[in-house]
Structure 1
Amino acid sequence: MQVMLADMVFALSEAVDLVGVDDDLHGRRVAVMAAECARELGYDTAHRWRLLHAGMLHDCGVSSTRVHANLVNEFDWHGAQAHCVLGEALLASIPVLADLAPIVRWHHTHWSAMPPGLDPDVARDANLIYLVDRVDALTAPSYGAPDYLLAKEASRQRIAAASGREFCPALVDAFLAVSRREAFWLTLERRHLTRYLNHAAAESLQGELDLAGMLALARAFSQIVDAKSPFTAEHSLGVARLALHLAQRAGLDQPTCARIEIAALLHDIGKLRVPDEVLEKPGPLDPQQRASMLCHSFETYQILSAIRGFDDIALWASCHHEKLDGSGYPFHFEAGEIPLPARIIAVADIAQALVQNRPYRGSMPDDAVMAHLQKLVANGLLDGEVVGLLDADCAASLAIARGAAASALH
């Protein structure tokens, strides 16, 4: 099984942008501005695409809607470095994207404060991402407004005023030159942005990812999802470990087990759009908050289905809240429409959540977890055979869900 690297990067960058909730294009606008400034600077094609990809993933260390709000609403936020460090670590763990890690690490550092020993090329690239990132923060409130083009002058003046201190003078000059053109700003509107990025996807990152590469990407991005709340720490990893264990016990072949693991790692990626306060609420959700939660599995489907070759994985991942009687979401599939891998992930998702501490309850003991799962089976909601696999190996399975013996699976 192989997929195009560009498909994975573009789809996962869409997930990163979901953290903006009401504005889900920040990373992609930054990417396009960086690529256009790189063109103005005369950079070669490979360099331009590297900056495009760095822009798309520059905020991969952000999963909190609160942190994202600070980053886009304040020009220079004192807490910005934390997500740069996390983003660097995530990208460094993915061999095919490791060259972007140092750019992300320094993309909120003032030009005058760059470490003396840092590679000059890395410093300039990181500073360019910082510059256009701040341009987007300045301009975002005006996108879509009738006088949108009028707002560009204030942004240009603010960037010019920071030349030599926050931003490299040569980069400021390039930005001021390219941003004189209305086309630069109009390309950032949604429909034009999509066309630009579709063209970029056809030209950049044309390599294929093998299974090991896909797993590395999936594990890294599962960490972003799990970092969204202290109550979901390692949830995706735990679900993936347990789903893989159950799939192996069910006798499924190795390629199917591997795809189940990837689907389980990414099953909650759509949850990045759910506000922090909803995930961390200690009591029942109100109707509006519940509606926000009901969207997340469909967001997962939309993101993953954009990856060619991921049809099964997208379906299995997005069906983790479907029920055999058709009462689940987002598709209201009934038993005959829910494949076995999706049933396995659904059981693993519930079991792992039950053994975690959540804002409204503590971790449940093994017997209580099994009693809850068996009740769901009796009510026609979960697959009894899958729950039976877990029950027959309960202590070991739930230990895996809690994080024990994880090293034995990889």
Structure 2
Amino acid sequence: MTVDVDLADSRLYASEEPERIWQDLRRAGGPVRADEGYWVLTRYAHVESVFRRTAAFSSEKGMQLGADRTSAAMAAEAAAGKMLIVSDGAAHSEIRKAIGAAFTPKMIRRLTESTLAIARDLVESAATGEPVDFVAEVSAPLPATVICDLLGVPAADRAWISRVTQTAFGDPDETEQVVAHAELFDYCDRLVRMKRDEPDDDVATALATATLGGQPMSQEVAVLNCHGLISGGNETTRHAGSFAALSTLTWPEQWELLRAGEVAVDHAAEEILRLSSPANHVMRMAVLDHEIGGETIRAGELVTLWLGSANRDEEVFEEPDSLRFARRPNRHLTFGLGVHFCLGAFLARLEVRSLISALAGFSVELVGEPDRLVSNVLRGYSRVPVILTRR
């Protein structure tokens, strides 16, 4: 069987069509081929198999489908072995260790307290009784503010960072996104240089002072991973948070259970993360022949793992298209598995939990049609017009 739609076409994701396509592909039973030549994996067991077989599948040829495959491959080659998400083996372990060293118990305690306060302030400020865009006013500023704290961005720069990240990771003109990312790379370069001279208790300092292979981490590697942290730190919460706001309307009974204390905020957050699945897909290249679901994936072939589909697999999740805050166990694949398990998962979970806690005290009224994000990489919303009122 082959896929008869172009899954790399970002316009496809401006609708609810992808979930129906994934359901049809899961019914096929095994991996299927896209007309463009790559493999499409939509079943939970098959996606899990690739995540766990790190020796057979590499991240260094790129993590995502691109409309321009040549440009995407060149970008991946330039960052391979230098940036956490497109590195394998010893390089991946060393970069991960360098970044992870900054997540001290002291920092985690500080972030836990500040993130809840930030979420509450943003929701309170948006509850004006007038229509607001929940993405622009709440779910985008929250991770942008937290990642600034994590990286040690000076207070004077944080409003600018928040504006630029909303352009870089939002849904504007493509040219605007390219310019915004270039500005972020330039800022990361300056931030890392500053942290070499003025170290502090933050992740940018950890990158600026890290070693790789017994040598100081290069400026290029530090900057690439600083930008990577800003990217990863913005994506999950921006889209899971907007989904959470909309879920108060779609599944109000679940929120009543939460408000009554009958389900835990932690469990509610995991279910929001499962059903929203902000990371649409990730990609790997087979470096060894490997059999999955009755198909042989040959060395050199690209494999795409559709996380939103795996998280709705009927063989793993009962009533997979429904939000159930009490769902246990909830072994979703939103953050991946194995050595490439998302380094920022704890931060995304903290942000989503904080936002759910803040939203529980408010009612949400939808005052316009939400706009889906036009992206094959991320699944979420670019605009969610609502009125927030205190309950």
Q: Shorter-chain TM-score: what band?
A: under 0.3
TM-score, normalisation: structure 1:
0.27
| Higher relative contact order, chain-length normalized (CA < 8 Å, sep 6+) | 2
- Say which one has the larger Rg: 1
More helix by share: 1
TM-score, normalisation: structure 2:
0.28
